[in-house]
Amino acid sequence: MRLADRVAQLPPYLFAEISRKIAEKRAQGVDVVSFGIGDPDLPTPQHILQALHTAAEKPVNHRYPESEGLPEYRSAVARWYARRFGVELDPDTEVVSLIGSKEGIGHVALCLVDPGDVALIPDPAYPVYAVGTMFAGGEVYPLPLDEEGGWLPDLDAVPERVLERATVLWLNYPNNPTGAVAPLELFERAVAFARRHELVICHDLAYSDVAYEGYRPPSFLEVPGARDVAVEFSSLSKTYNMTGWRIGAAAGNRGVIDALTRVKSNLDSGVPQAIQEMAIAALSGPQGCVGEHNAVYRRRRDRIIETLRSLGLRVQAPKASLYVWARVPEGETSIAFAARLLDATGVVVTPGIGYGQQGEGYVRLSVTTPDDRVDEGLRRLTAWHAATARG
């Protein structure tokens, strides 16, 4: 049997590999504490679940949905944008439903990238930006991010020879994996950059409302003229603890939204309508749960940072996202450090190299681990560091 070359070129998906290692350790009898994957442990709020229960009883919701999503769902997304960001969207032409934002992020490359085209992708970054590009036959040009530059890209550093072939620029703030946030000035520069070089900007806004100390992440679409050049991917997964329900949306440039809708109509049958109804309840209902979730995540964030600093690791407190991004000890690689922690303590962290070459020297810890397991994991790290220091 011969498989397609694109499958042979696929690297192991980072989080599938982490899950495999966790299963391997547990099979050996190790009690693993995982800070690896950003999957909220808190339950979906009750009023959202109740909307699903009610919607599941409706026979109309037992049939195929439409790929673009219910008009009511797209309208709820548009109202959320208006309320949250002051952005007015036409739900009929500027919004499409997604089976989680990951699905749209993967499929949009089929709309924007032909074989030989270049996608400008930050490094480090969520791996799906590059994988979608590869599936479309495109090439990745990495935009190096670093701590000194606040994990923001230097768009002026992209060579002209690359820009001649580039068709898309990916951005993601609040950022995964670094937790960095971006000022609106970066988005304004990006809009001008896209116009100048005839690019489409894809902005991943998965962590739109996971934020701390009063910080309110902006939408890329807030910038004047953004809808001329950009689409934005949002998700209910992290804000409302709905990772398992798989629903999100893309919004913005109507040409790209139309293209994405046409691709999706040929490849999927949309989000189950009962789940769209629960998403409407999430977006349109009481929002107090968002602040409650963030208070839990902030408490965990602070405890994790305190412990990591006591181990001698360099780490800054993120204003947003579900992640703590920590510098590993000098002279050690991210994979070696993560492996040493796992072997010595049973604690899982994600090596930064899994997000790109610029992630080398860092590890990522998620704050989506239950409180008792956070306590246990941090206790183990502290005890291991003390034993190591004693020699």
pLDDT at 230 over 80: yes
Structure tokens at 44: 């979906």
Cα 291 to chain center, whole Å?
A: 19
Residue percentage of the chain with pLDDT more than 70: 99
Q: Residue 112 — very low, low, confident or very high, per pLDDT cuts 50/70/90?
A: very high
pLDDT of residue 22: 81
Contact 320, 294 (CB under 8 A): no
Kindly report, residue by residue over 153-191, the tens digit of the pLDDT.
Answer: 999 999 999 999 999 999 999 999 999 999 999 999 999
Please check the confidence at residue 23 and state whether its pLDDT lies above 90: no
d(CA 202, CA 74): 19
Per-residue pLDDT of 272-284, as tens digits, reads 999 999 999 999 9
- Residue 8's pLDDT band, with cuts at 50, 70 and 90, is confident
If we measure between CA atoms, which residue out of 252, 115, 105, 129 comes closest to residue 191? 252
Backbone phi, then psi, for 213, in 5-degree steps? 55, 35
Evaluate if residue 16 carries a pLDDT over 80.
no
Residue type, 208: S
Q: Cα separation of 322 and 177, whole Å?
A: 9
Dihedral sign for Cα atoms in the order 293, 294, 299, 305? positive
Q: Quick one: three-class SS letters along 126-170?
A: CCHHHHHHHHCCCEEEEEECCCCCCCCCCHHHCCHHHHCCEEEEE
The beta strands (E) that lie in 61-106 are given as 95-98
Answer yes or no: is pLDDT of 207 > 70: yes
**pLDDT tens digit string along 348-391?**
999 999 999 999 999 999 999 999 999 999 999 999 999 887 76
Residue type present at position 47: H
> Could you write out the three-class secondary structure of 235-291?
ECCCCCCCHHHCCEEEEECHHHHHHHHHHHHHHCCCCCHHHHHHHHHHHHCCCHHHH
Question: Mean pLDDT of all residues in the chain?
Answer: 96
pTM attached to this predicted model: 0.96
* Spatial CB neighbours of 157, under 8 Å, sequence gap ≥ 6: 143
Helices (H), 285-333: 288-310
Mean pLDDT of 98-121: 98
14 pLDDT higher than 90? no
Do 91 and 78 form a contact (C-beta atoms < 8 A)?
yes
User: What domains are defined for the chain?
Assistant: 5-44+288-390 (3.90.1150.10), 46-284 (3.40.640.10)
pLDDT at residue 15, as a whole number: 67
3-state SS class at 72: helix
Four-point Cα dihedral 28, 34, 39, 45, nearest 10: 100
| Tens digit of each residue's pLDDT (9 = 90 or more) over 283-331 | 999 999 999 999 999 999 999 999 999 999 999 999 999 999 999 999 9
DSSP state of 308: H
